[in-house]
Amino acid sequence: MGCPLRFVGRAQALKLGWIVPEGPEIRLAADGLARAIAGRVARRVEFAFEHLRPFEPILAGEEVLRVDTRGKALLIVFANGLTIYSHNQLYGVWKTARAGVRPATRRTLRLTIENEERAALLYSASEIDVLEWANLDAHPYLATLGPDALDPATTAGAVTERLADRRFANRSLASLLLDQSFLAGIGNYLRAEICFVAGVRAERRPKDLSDVERRRVAEAALAVSRQSYATRGITNDLALATQLASDGLARSRRRFHVFARAGEPCWRCETPVQRTTLAGRRLYWCTGCQR
Protein backbone atom coordinates (compact mmCIF):
# COMPACT_ATOMS: atom_id res chain seq x y z
CA MET A 1 0.00 0.00 0.00
CA GLY A 2 2.66 2.52 -1.02
CA CYS A 3 2.66 5.32 1.52
CA PRO A 4 0.37 4.29 4.38
CA LEU A 5 -2.41 6.49 5.60
CA ARG A 6 -1.50 8.00 8.95
CA PHE A 7 -4.09 8.52 11.65
CA VAL A 8 -3.17 10.98 14.39
CA GLY A 9 -4.85 12.90 17.16
CA ARG A 10 -7.00 15.80 15.97
CA ALA A 11 -4.96 18.46 17.75
CA GLN A 12 -1.72 17.06 16.36
CA ALA A 13 -3.22 16.76 12.90
CA LEU A 14 -4.29 20.40 12.90
CA LYS A 15 -0.90 21.51 14.17
CA LEU A 16 0.85 19.59 11.40
CA GLY A 17 -1.64 20.64 8.77
CA TRP A 18 -2.80 17.05 8.19
CA ILE A 19 -6.36 16.09 7.34
CA VAL A 20 -7.97 13.63 9.74
CA PRO A 21 -9.08 10.72 7.49
CA GLU A 22 -12.73 10.44 6.55
CA GLY A 23 -14.76 7.90 4.61
CA PRO A 24 -12.81 8.23 1.33
CA GLU A 25 -9.47 7.77 3.08
CA ILE A 26 -10.71 4.71 4.99
CA ARG A 27 -12.00 3.20 1.75
CA LEU A 28 -8.63 3.83 0.09
CA ALA A 29 -6.92 2.12 3.03
CA ALA A 30 -9.29 -0.84 2.60
CA ASP A 31 -8.38 -1.02 -1.09
CA GLY A 32 -4.71 -1.25 -0.16
CA LEU A 33 -5.36 -3.99 2.38
CA ALA A 34 -7.47 -5.90 -0.14
CA ARG A 35 -4.58 -5.95 -2.60
CA ALA A 36 -2.39 -7.48 0.10
CA ILE A 37 -4.67 -10.04 1.76
CA ALA A 38 -8.02 -10.50 -0.03
CA GLY A 39 -8.45 -13.78 -1.86
CA ARG A 40 -5.60 -15.36 0.08
CA VAL A 41 -5.40 -17.67 3.07
CA ALA A 42 -4.25 -16.01 6.28
CA ARG A 43 -1.25 -17.93 7.54
CA ARG A 44 -1.08 -15.98 10.78
CA VAL A 45 -3.56 -13.83 12.68
CA GLU A 46 -2.35 -12.21 15.89
CA PHE A 47 -4.08 -9.80 18.26
CA ALA A 48 -2.43 -7.65 20.91
CA PHE A 49 -5.53 -7.83 23.12
CA GLU A 50 -5.87 -10.87 25.36
CA HIS A 51 -9.65 -11.25 24.95
CA LEU A 52 -9.26 -11.58 21.16
CA ARG A 53 -6.46 -14.16 21.17
CA PRO A 54 -8.82 -17.17 21.25
CA PHE A 55 -9.82 -16.16 17.71
CA GLU A 56 -6.26 -16.50 16.38
CA PRO A 57 -6.39 -20.27 15.67
CA ILE A 58 -9.96 -19.92 14.38
CA LEU A 59 -8.99 -17.32 11.77
CA ALA A 60 -5.55 -18.67 10.84
CA GLY A 61 -5.91 -20.96 7.86
CA GLU A 62 -9.03 -19.18 6.61
CA GLU A 63 -9.29 -17.24 3.36
CA VAL A 64 -9.84 -13.49 3.56
CA LEU A 65 -12.80 -12.96 1.25
CA ARG A 66 -12.79 -9.16 1.07
CA VAL A 67 -12.10 -5.91 2.90
CA ASP A 68 -15.17 -3.69 3.30
CA THR A 69 -15.91 -0.35 4.93
CA ARG A 70 -18.95 1.15 6.57
CA GLY A 71 -18.41 4.84 7.06
CA LYS A 72 -15.14 5.06 8.97
CA ALA A 73 -15.19 1.42 10.14
CA LEU A 74 -13.12 -1.21 8.33
CA LEU A 75 -14.27 -4.84 8.03
CA ILE A 76 -12.05 -7.79 7.08
CA VAL A 77 -14.31 -10.68 6.11
CA PHE A 78 -13.16 -14.30 6.42
CA ALA A 79 -14.56 -17.38 4.68
CA ASN A 80 -15.72 -18.96 7.95
CA GLY A 81 -18.26 -16.18 8.56
CA LEU A 82 -16.19 -14.16 11.00
CA THR A 83 -15.25 -10.53 10.44
CA ILE A 84 -12.55 -8.42 12.07
CA TYR A 85 -14.00 -5.00 12.82
CA SER A 86 -11.71 -2.04 13.44
CA HIS A 87 -12.13 1.68 13.84
CA ASN A 88 -8.94 3.70 13.71
CA GLN A 89 -10.48 6.64 15.58
CA LEU A 90 -7.77 9.33 15.83
CA TYR A 91 -4.60 7.32 16.32
CA GLY A 92 -4.61 4.13 14.26
CA VAL A 93 -2.58 3.42 11.15
CA TRP A 94 -2.74 0.49 8.73
CA LYS A 95 0.45 -0.58 6.98
CA THR A 96 1.27 -3.40 4.60
CA ALA A 97 4.62 -5.12 4.23
CA ARG A 98 6.21 -8.26 2.89
CA ALA A 99 5.51 -11.36 4.96
CA GLY A 100 7.83 -11.48 7.95
CA VAL A 101 8.83 -7.81 7.61
CA ARG A 102 7.81 -5.22 10.18
CA PRO A 103 8.19 -1.50 9.38
CA ALA A 104 10.34 0.58 11.68
CA THR A 105 7.97 2.46 13.99
CA ARG A 106 7.46 3.38 17.62
CA ARG A 107 3.80 2.52 17.39
CA THR A 108 2.29 -0.52 19.12
CA LEU A 109 1.25 -3.34 16.81
CA ARG A 110 -2.36 -4.30 17.56
CA LEU A 111 -3.29 -6.71 14.78
CA THR A 112 -1.39 -8.85 12.26
CA ILE A 113 -2.90 -10.68 9.30
CA GLU A 114 -0.22 -12.41 7.25
CA ASN A 115 -0.28 -14.74 4.26
CA GLU A 116 2.59 -16.34 2.35
CA GLU A 117 3.52 -13.08 0.64
CA ARG A 118 2.12 -10.05 2.43
CA ALA A 119 1.16 -8.79 5.88
CA ALA A 120 -1.54 -6.30 6.92
CA LEU A 121 -0.57 -4.55 10.15
CA LEU A 122 -2.73 -2.32 12.33
CA TYR A 123 -0.88 -0.04 14.73
CA SER A 124 -2.11 2.05 17.68
CA ALA A 125 -5.85 1.45 17.22
CA SER A 126 -7.76 0.26 20.29
CA GLU A 127 -11.21 -0.41 18.83
CA ILE A 128 -10.93 -3.92 17.39
CA ASP A 129 -13.41 -6.80 17.61
CA VAL A 130 -14.26 -10.12 15.97
CA LEU A 131 -17.89 -10.43 14.90
CA GLU A 132 -20.09 -12.85 13.06
CA TRP A 133 -20.92 -11.42 9.65
CA ALA A 134 -24.59 -12.26 10.11
CA ASN A 135 -24.71 -10.17 13.30
CA LEU A 136 -22.77 -7.09 12.20
CA ASP A 137 -25.80 -4.84 12.41
CA ALA A 138 -26.03 -5.52 16.15
CA HIS A 139 -22.62 -3.99 16.83
CA PRO A 140 -22.99 -0.81 18.96
CA TYR A 141 -21.22 1.42 16.43
CA LEU A 142 -22.35 -0.15 13.19
CA ALA A 143 -25.96 -0.19 14.39
CA THR A 144 -25.97 3.60 14.64
CA LEU A 145 -24.67 4.34 11.14
CA GLY A 146 -26.77 6.03 8.51
CA PRO A 147 -26.39 5.29 4.80
CA ASP A 148 -22.81 5.28 3.56
CA ALA A 149 -22.00 8.22 1.29
CA LEU A 150 -19.71 5.98 -0.78
CA ASP A 151 -22.19 3.15 -1.18
CA PRO A 152 -23.53 3.16 -4.77
CA ALA A 153 -26.92 2.16 -3.34
CA THR A 154 -27.16 5.47 -1.47
CA THR A 155 -29.06 7.89 -3.71
CA ALA A 156 -29.50 11.66 -3.65
CA GLY A 157 -33.23 11.10 -3.33
CA ALA A 158 -32.76 9.06 -0.16
CA VAL A 159 -30.44 11.70 1.34
CA THR A 160 -32.94 14.44 0.43
CA GLU A 161 -35.64 12.53 2.32
CA ARG A 162 -33.37 12.25 5.36
CA LEU A 163 -32.79 16.00 5.32
CA ALA A 164 -36.56 16.47 5.61
CA ASP A 165 -36.87 13.83 8.34
CA ARG A 166 -37.92 15.25 11.72
CA ARG A 167 -34.91 13.55 13.36
CA PHE A 168 -32.52 15.74 11.36
CA ALA A 169 -34.41 18.75 9.97
CA ASN A 170 -33.98 21.00 13.03
CA ARG A 171 -30.21 20.70 13.27
CA SER A 172 -27.66 22.91 11.55
CA LEU A 173 -25.81 21.42 8.62
CA ALA A 174 -22.63 22.15 10.57
CA SER A 175 -23.48 19.46 13.13
CA LEU A 176 -25.62 17.23 10.94
CA LEU A 177 -22.92 16.58 8.36
CA LEU A 178 -20.60 15.35 11.11
CA ASP A 179 -23.23 12.96 12.50
CA GLN A 180 -22.52 9.41 11.31
CA SER A 181 -26.11 8.41 12.02
CA PHE A 182 -27.24 10.86 9.34
CA LEU A 183 -24.75 9.95 6.61
CA ALA A 184 -21.75 7.75 7.31
CA GLY A 185 -18.24 8.64 6.20
CA ILE A 186 -18.45 12.43 6.15
CA GLY A 187 -16.11 14.44 8.35
CA ASN A 188 -14.78 17.95 8.64
CA TYR A 189 -13.14 18.64 5.30
CA LEU A 190 -16.03 17.04 3.42
CA ARG A 191 -18.51 19.10 5.45
CA ALA A 192 -16.98 22.39 4.29
CA GLU A 193 -16.66 21.27 0.68
CA ILE A 194 -20.23 19.91 0.53
CA CYS A 195 -21.71 23.17 1.78
CA PHE A 196 -19.64 25.13 -0.73
CA VAL A 197 -20.66 22.97 -3.68
CA ALA A 198 -24.30 23.15 -2.57
CA GLY A 199 -24.05 26.95 -2.22
CA VAL A 200 -25.42 27.06 1.34
CA ARG A 201 -24.08 28.18 4.70
CA ALA A 202 -23.40 25.51 7.30
CA GLU A 203 -25.36 27.41 9.97
CA ARG A 204 -28.62 26.76 8.14
CA ARG A 205 -31.01 23.97 9.07
CA PRO A 206 -32.56 21.57 6.54
CA LYS A 207 -36.05 22.68 7.59
CA ASP A 208 -35.19 26.25 6.54
CA LEU A 209 -33.86 25.25 3.13
CA SER A 210 -35.96 25.19 0.00
CA ASP A 211 -36.65 21.89 -1.73
CA VAL A 212 -34.09 22.82 -4.36
CA GLU A 213 -31.45 23.61 -1.72
CA ARG A 214 -32.05 20.35 0.14
CA ARG A 215 -31.61 18.47 -3.12
CA ARG A 216 -28.38 20.36 -3.82
CA VAL A 217 -27.01 19.45 -0.38
CA ALA A 218 -27.91 15.79 -0.92
CA GLU A 219 -26.32 15.69 -4.35
CA ALA A 220 -23.20 17.48 -3.12
CA ALA A 221 -22.83 15.14 -0.13
CA LEU A 222 -22.57 12.14 -2.44
CA ALA A 223 -20.72 13.75 -5.34
CA VAL A 224 -18.01 15.40 -3.23
CA SER A 225 -17.42 12.26 -1.14
CA ARG A 226 -17.20 10.05 -4.21
CA GLN A 227 -14.93 12.42 -6.08
CA SER A 228 -12.62 12.55 -3.07
CA TYR A 229 -12.39 8.77 -3.09
CA ALA A 230 -11.87 8.56 -6.85
CA THR A 231 -9.14 11.24 -6.86
CA ARG A 232 -7.46 10.39 -3.55
CA GLY A 233 -8.65 13.56 -1.87
CA ILE A 234 -9.30 16.23 -4.49
CA THR A 235 -12.68 17.91 -3.96
CA ASN A 236 -11.99 21.02 -6.03
CA ASP A 237 -13.29 21.38 -9.59
CA LEU A 238 -11.21 18.81 -11.45
CA ALA A 239 -10.55 20.94 -14.52
CA LEU A 240 -9.39 23.77 -12.29
CA ALA A 241 -7.25 21.44 -10.17
CA THR A 242 -5.60 20.13 -13.34
CA GLN A 243 -4.87 23.66 -14.54
CA LEU A 244 -3.48 24.66 -11.15
CA ALA A 245 -1.25 21.60 -11.18
CA SER A 246 0.10 22.57 -14.60
CA ASP A 247 0.79 26.02 -13.15
CA GLY A 248 2.97 24.39 -10.52
CA LEU A 249 0.67 24.81 -7.50
CA ALA A 250 1.27 22.21 -4.79
CA ARG A 251 -1.41 19.56 -4.34
CA SER A 252 -2.21 20.78 -0.83
CA ARG A 253 -2.95 24.24 -2.27
CA ARG A 254 -5.22 23.08 -5.09
CA ARG A 255 -7.15 20.12 -3.72
CA PHE A 256 -9.99 22.02 -1.98
CA HIS A 257 -12.58 24.64 -2.85
CA VAL A 258 -12.45 26.32 0.58
CA PHE A 259 -11.19 23.94 3.26
CA ALA A 260 -7.93 25.11 4.90
CA ARG A 261 -7.85 28.18 2.59
CA ALA A 262 -8.69 30.96 5.05
CA GLY A 263 -7.81 34.37 3.68
CA GLU A 264 -7.12 33.07 0.17
CA PRO A 265 -9.37 34.15 -2.72
CA CYS A 266 -12.24 31.88 -3.67
CA TRP A 267 -11.44 30.10 -6.93
CA ARG A 268 -14.84 31.16 -8.29
CA CYS A 269 -15.50 34.72 -7.15
CA GLU A 270 -12.18 35.80 -5.56
CA THR A 271 -13.87 36.68 -2.24
CA PRO A 272 -11.48 35.82 0.64
CA VAL A 273 -12.34 32.46 2.22
CA GLN A 274 -13.53 32.75 5.83
CA ARG A 275 -12.82 30.52 8.81
CA THR A 276 -14.77 29.97 12.01
CA THR A 277 -15.58 27.18 14.46
CA LEU A 278 -18.95 25.41 14.29
CA ALA A 279 -19.99 22.22 16.08
CA GLY A 280 -16.56 22.17 17.68
CA ARG A 281 -14.62 21.97 14.41
CA ARG A 282 -13.00 24.48 12.11
CA LEU A 283 -15.17 25.48 9.18
CA TYR A 284 -14.37 27.35 5.98
CA TRP A 285 -16.75 29.08 3.58
CA CYS A 286 -17.04 31.76 0.91
CA THR A 287 -19.39 34.65 1.64
CA GLY A 288 -19.76 35.31 -2.07
CA CYS A 289 -20.74 31.79 -3.14
CA GLN A 290 -22.58 30.66 0.00
CA ARG A 291 -25.38 33.07 0.91
CA atoms within 13 A on the CB side of 165: 14
Chain centroid to CA 210: how far? 29
pLDDT by residue for the chain (291 residues), tens digit each? Answer: 333 434 333 443 433 344 678 999 999 999 999 999 999 999 999 999 999 999 999 999 999 999 999 999 999 999 999 999 999 888 889 999 999 999 999 999 999 999 999 999 999 999 999 999 999 999 999 999 999 999 999 999 999 999 999 999 999 999 999 999 999 999 999 999 999 999 999 999 999 999 999 999 999 999 999 999 999 999 999 999 999 999 999 999 999 999 999 999 999 999 999 999 999 999 999 999 998
- pLDDT at site 90: 80
Domain with CATH 1.10.8.50 in the chain: 156-285
Measured CA to CA in angstroms, residue 249 lies from 187, 221, 252, 263, 267 at distances of 25, 26, 8, 17, 13
SS3 6: coil
Residue 141 per-residue DSSP state: T
Name the class of domain 156-285.
Answer: mainly alpha
3-state helix, strand, coil in the chain (%, to 5): 35, 20, 45
CATH 3.20.190.10, applies to 10-144: yes
User: Distance between CA 253 and CA 7 in Å, rounded?
Assistant: 21
Q: Which helix (H) or strand (E) holds 105?
A: none
Cβ count within 10 A of residue 228? 26
User: Distance between CA 133 and CA 136 in Å, rounded?
Assistant: 5
Domain with CATH 3.20.190.10 in the chain: 10-144
Q: What is the pTM of this model?
A: 0.90
- 122, 126, 127: which is closest to 105 by C-alpha? 122
Those residues whose C-beta lies under 8 Å from the C-beta of residue 21, and which sit 6 or more positions away, are 5, 7, 29, 72, 88, 187
Cβ count within 10 A of residue 13? 16
Asked if 164 contacts 214 with a C-beta cutoff of 8 angstroms, the reply is: yes
Q: Which helix (H) or strand (E) holds 70?
A: strand 64-70
- pLDDT at site 21: 80
- pLDDT at site 15: 36
Those residues whose C-beta lies under 8 Å from the C-beta of residue 193, and which sit 6 or more positions away, are 224, 228, 235, 256, 257, 258, 259
Measured CA to CA in angstroms, residue 273 lies from 9, 213, 289, 290 at distances of 26, 21, 10, 11
Which residues are identified as catalytic? 21-22, 72, 281
